[in-house]
Structures are given as structure tokens and as C-alpha cells.
Structure 1
Amino acid sequence: MPRSNRPRRGGRDNDRGESDLSALLNGWKRTEVRRGVTWWVQPVSSSQSQKEYVCPGCGRRVDAGTAHVVAWRADGPLGDAADLAARRHWHSHCWRIG
């Protein structure tokens, strides 16, 4: 039987779909309520972490290449743009205990 040059279903397109899914899960954000304030919280994987930040919870560095979370107010009085500009990068542990 001669070989078919047509792409088959479930080939490379399926692999690409799985990587899109993992990118979606890595960028997944949620809301949390802390002390009566609603926050957007988004995890950042170690591969996505490109810069160094200062954690507001402990005052220490969040080094590049370290998995952490980014948090910003979801219900701030100045609006979404101001809340997003005021986002902070926290160590995951510091955010959990904070």
C-alpha cells in the first residue's frame, strides 16, 4: 500500500493543544478574599519568572527563576488599571500565611 503524505489526526496538532493547555493552566488566576478585600491571585511558574522582585510579605527578594504568585486588588476604588499597576509579587509561602 502506498504511503500517504496527508497529516493524520492526533499528530503534532494534539501535542500543540497540550502545550496550550499547560500555558493556560500556568496562567490561571483566581480570586481570594483576605481581610475583607478581594484579590486576584495568579501563580507564576519558575520558567515564567524572568525578573527579580521584592516580596511585600517578608521584604526579601523573589529571585528570577523562582515560582511565586502575583496579587492585585480586584475591587479597588481607583479602577482596574490602577489595581493592575499596583500588583505585587509574593513568595507563595508568604502569600499563604499573610
Structure 2
Amino acid sequence: MPRSNRPRGRKAAGDEREELDIERLTLGWRRTETRRGTSYTVQPISAANARKGYVCPGCGREIAPGVEHVAVWRADGVLGDKADLAGRRHWHTHCWRIA
């Protein structure tokens, strides 16, 4: 007899599932990283959400629209959250990892 790959003993699809946060799914996982004693907020930008072009501060090359990358800003700035967010920079994911 062939083996069944159907899971057994689980609840039906609509029963008591944790609600998904749509913003988290569409924007990615925001995280905090520390580099050289400074905390940064790192927000992944998916290819579907990358609608504008940017210049990567790591390599100086263009991040074209439709290319997955990260937006980075200071998490511990003294001028406040709005100033930190206004000072964010868009990096190629690889450039941010090696920076």
C-alpha cells in the first residue's frame, strides 16, 4: 500500500490559527544590528516593494527599481526617530553585510 503524505491529527485550516500581520509579511523583518558601537535599524526591502532607484553608499552603484535590498538608519540617534528615519540609506544586501 502506498504511503500517504497527508498530515494526520492536526486541526482544520480555519481553526484557531494565529492571525498574520500583513505589514510584517509585505515589508520584511525589521531588526536591530550594532556596528562599531552604533545601533542601526535594518529593514529588508523586497523586490516587489523596491519601486525607486537608489545609490548604495557601500559601493556607489545604483540599486535599480525591482532589486531586493535593505534600508538602514540609526536606531540610537540623539535627534530623535524622525531625524533618524529621514537619514536612512538604501544598501545592497551584500554591501551592508560586508560594511
**TM-score band, normalised by shorter chain:** 0.7 to 0.9
Structure 2 length as normaliser, TM-score? 0.76
Residue 91 (structure 2) pairs with residue 82 (structure 1): no
- The aligned runs of 1:13-32 (5 Å cut-off) are 20=22, 23-25=23-25, 26-32=27-33
Structure 1 length as normaliser, TM-score? 0.77
Deviation at 1:19? 8.4
- Structure number with the higher helix fraction is 1
CA distance in 2, matches of 1:75, 1:68: 22
Residue 56 (structure 2) pairs with residue 55 (structure 1): yes
Equivalences, count: 83
2:77 aligns to what SS in structure 1?
coil
Please give the per-residue CA displacement for 1:24-75, whole angstroms capped at 9, x wherever unaligned. 1343200000010000000000000000000000000000000000000000
Unaligned 5+ runs, structure 1: 1-8
1:71 equivalent in structure 2: 72
Unaligned 5+ runs, structure 2: 1-12
CA distance in 1, matches of 2:77, 2:71: 16
CA distance in 1, matches of 2:43, 2:81: 15
